[in-house]
Chains A and B, each alone.
Chain A
Amino acid sequence: MNNQMNKNVLYFFAFILAFCSIGYEFAIARTLAEMTGRGSQAQAMTIAFYILGLGIGAHFAQKGTTAPLRQLVLVETAVAGVGAISIFCIQILHLAMYSLLINDKVFLISAQSISVIVGILSGFELPYLLALVRTANDERRTNLTLGLNYFGSMIAAIACNYLFFPNLSGNQTVFAFAILNLISAASLLAFIEGKKVRLQLGVAFVAFAMAFFVRFIVKIDRTYLQSFYSMHAQVEAGIPLLERLESLDSKIGVDRIRTPYQAIDFVKRRFMDVKDGSLIYVWADFLYINGQPQVQIGKETVYHELMAHTPLALTGIIPKNVLVLGGGDGFLANELFRHPAIESITLVELDSAMVHEASTRSLLTESNGRVFNNPRLRVVIQDAYVYVRTAQDKFDAIYIDLPFPFDEDLNKLYSVEFYSNVRRLMKPSSVMTLDFPIGKSDGTSGIIFSTLRQAGFEAVVGYGTIDSFVSAAGEDVHFGKSTAHPLISELSQRFNVLRDDISDQSEFDPRLVNSALKPLLVGH
């Protein structure tokens, strides 16, 4: 094969090797985000440690490039091997650390050992490739190799987020990359050193065997999810460590839906409940997003009753037009439609997959009253953060039913800028309500109250103990403890108890204002 053709082949490999290497990194970051719910931190730490590994690898590569082709093929085979088992190793580590109640941040750092190893091996690639393509002072070839390396990374970024992650698990993704990696290594030998037929056949066989193994990955993923949720149920029930490890429950049912935004899990697991004054285990269905519990399906009514009706009971507002931000499961909207006066509800949800599940999955439609078939419900698939800035409608009541701000992505939905825009969509007589754990002593309550005050809400109240909420309104609205309301009389027992629990939150500390530009809530 002529020299120029060899060079062209190497340029192609500069592209494909970068594609695979950064693919492992993206898969690790995505998996860690799904496991911990800390998306930004998982992404930032993984890319940082992967790049550290690249630096170490590149440093050691300079020690000697005596036989760069052989060294490159060796490195590619090693990257494929480590990459293929990377997610499996992280799953084992996660289960071990979760069972020992080690917190998520320590787990995130520990898991970076895998990113560093993948990075180190990948770090050898570019120097070896450069040594292969470069003749003396040939800048064009060097730059072309660097350029194609960057292109490979870009295509991997797009392919991972739009092709791999919505369709494949982390294990399946890294296996796909590993197979491509091995085929590349074999092809590299075939193109440059056409004689090594046995080696090529060997690598091709391993790649084929790995492709065959892909079907078993489904079982590995299922076992991991069952073990995790079994462990979660036992931690929740306060079962001691040794007993937890002995009694992992393989009957747990987990159905995972992957979307471009998150992993949605429908989990059927045992749950400790009280019956006739004694504790018993019952099977129950739960909804989790990125491993974080959202709601116990079938038992969500109490929670959504409190959220939907309390602000109306306290203010006497009977709303006609309602805005729900989040709440793609449809539970809150269904509860709100119990008010006959409500003419329309606009529900803004980021993830269309969540709405699809809530409209079609019988587990949810049985609980949400098939609310998505209600002609009075208007669904908008959009980032709530952008919606409140750009919408022009005014609403009588606004409900914010969003996940707790574990990271910067969600922090912006609890910021002064967000609440200022929410307030813009309210009339002087409107009320806004969000769910927030106000009972915690970690300072987050002060942040949320000060942020709402800074956004221009004159009246801010918090209520609830196990499930807690915050309502806010302008100066025209007064929160009273004895306001009569038609629907509330039906639920009088529960709300009479609640009324003793309401606290006025008028204190304001400018240092505690949470901004989309400077997050204060993250990390609590």
Chain B
Amino acid sequence: MMKSLMPTNTTKILIVLGLTAFCSICYELLIGQAIALTFGGTLSAYTLTIGIFLFSMGVGSLVANRVTVGFFEIELLITILGLAAPVLILSFASIPEMTAFQLFASKLVSFGALSVLGVLTGLEIPIAFKYLSGNQDRTRAIAIDYLGSFAAGLVFAFVMFPDFGLPLSILVVSVLNMAVPLLIVFLGIEKVSIVKKAAGLILAVIVVALTLSHGLVAKTLSNFLVSAK
């Protein structure tokens, strides 16, 4: 008898998890770069970004069993925030003569956005675990998560940032992350209402449109970094 070509439920989850792990590390590096460009001090910016992101992921893991939101909604939120956060952070660079309060507030908002993204990322594995009952499958999920992160670290440092630049990288990662909620629907991992599906589709169109006009996005972000005064 011919073996079915349809992926098993475990395989579907593993595909999605590999993609989410890839995007998570990319978001972390993109935001670290945006924070360094806005507030300066690359090393401390990266340290704080990694530290806060990991801390938030920990919070996400801890509260995961109290969260009732589905995988689809979480991935939709990550796509929105992953796209908006680095742009928002870079926009703070355009504020001339920041007062101490403005500087504090803009850092608070920047690291706040990073924390929310970290919490949402931290929810991913525990939620995926709900669909994986066996010990072996869960261990495999952790391994896939690590492999996705490995690929992201290399691709970001040696392809994305040097060849695409920061603006296009933000958009490409958004497109990849947008594929996750779409895969959740198409692979039938979760049942999603028609309204949420429509919201996902609209977001996908916006992300693709922005990616196609990446030159304009790059120009806008570059202008943020040049003082107007």
Contact = CB atoms under 8 A, between A and B. Distances in A.
Contact of B146 (A58, A142, A148, A158): A58
Contacts of A140: 65
A517 B165 contact: yes
The interface centre, meaning the residue of B33, B162, B218 with most chain A CB atoms within 10 A of its CB, is B162
A149 interface: yes
Given A150-B57, A151-B55, A389-B225, A161 B64 contact: no
A392 B228 CA distance: 11
Nearest to B50: A157
Nearest to A423: B226
A420 B225 CA distance: 9
A509 interface: no
Dominant SS at the A interface? Answer: helix
A365 interface: no
Interface stretch (A89-97, A192-200, A409-417): A409-417
A39 interface: yes
A416 B55 CA distance: 35
B9 interface: no
A124 B42 CA distance: 32
A516 B37 contact: yes
A157 B97 contact: no
A44 B146 contact: no
Nearest to B64: A143
A408 interface: yes
Interface string A360-403: 00000000000000000000001101100110100000000000
B39 A147 contact: no
B157 A59 contact: no
A54 interface: yes
Interface string A489-511: 00000000000000000000000
Given A147-B58, A147-B61, A62 B136 contact: yes
A157 B61 CA distance: 19
B226 A417 contact: yes
Interface stretch (A45-53, A206-214, A295-303, A463-471): A45-53
A58 B52 CA distance: 24
B122 A150 contact: yes
A127 B157 contact: no
B51 A58 contact: no
Contacts of B42: 39-40, 408-409
A416 B226 CA distance: 9
B44 A147 contact: no
The interface centre, meaning the residue of A51, A130, A382, A421 with most chain B CB atoms within 10 A of its CB, is A51
B222 A416 contact: yes
Contact of A54 (B64, B136, B146): B146
B142 A127 contact: yes
Chain B, interface size category, equals: 35 or more
A188 B118 CA distance: 30
Interface residues of A, number: 69
A206 B217 CA distance: 57
Contacts of A260: 43-44
Contact of A161 (B40, B43, B167, B226): B43
A153 interface: yes
A417 B58 contact: no
A154 interface: yes
Nearest to A350: B41
B43 A261 contact: yes
B142 A392 contact: no
A416 B50 CA distance: 28
B227 interface: yes
Nearest to A48: B153
B62 interface: yes
B59 interface: yes
A41 B157 CA distance: 7
A518 interface: yes
Nearest to A417: B225
Given A51-B150, A417-B226, A139 B126 contact: yes
A222 interface: no
Contacts of A130: 138-139
Contact of A62 (B140, B153, B162): B140
A47 B139 contact: no
A261 B97 CA distance: 26
A123 B222 CA distance: 40
B143 interface: yes
B55 A154 contact: yes
Nearest to A149: B58
Contacts of A517: 37, 165-167, 218, 221-222, 225
Contacts of B93: 389
A386 B40 contact: yes
Nearest to A415: B225
B192 interface: no
A523 B157 CA distance: 12
Contact of B62 (A61, A144, A157): A144
A161 B46 CA distance: 10
7 contacts: A62-B140, A146-B126, A155-B51, A385-B37, A516-B225, A518-B167, A519-B161
Interface of B: 29, 33, 36-37, 39-44, 46-47, 50-52, 54-55, 57-62, 64-65, 93, 96-98, 122, 125-126, 129-130, 133, 135-136, 138-140, 142-147, 149-154, 156-158, 161-162, 164-167, 218, 221-222, 225-227, 229
Given A51-B149, A62-B143, 18 more contacts: A44-B153, A44-B154, A48-B157, A51-B146, A51-B153, A61-B139, A146-B58, A146-B122, A147-B59, A150-B122, A157-B47, A158-B47, A350-B41, A392-B97, A416-B222, A420-B226, A517-B218, A519-B162
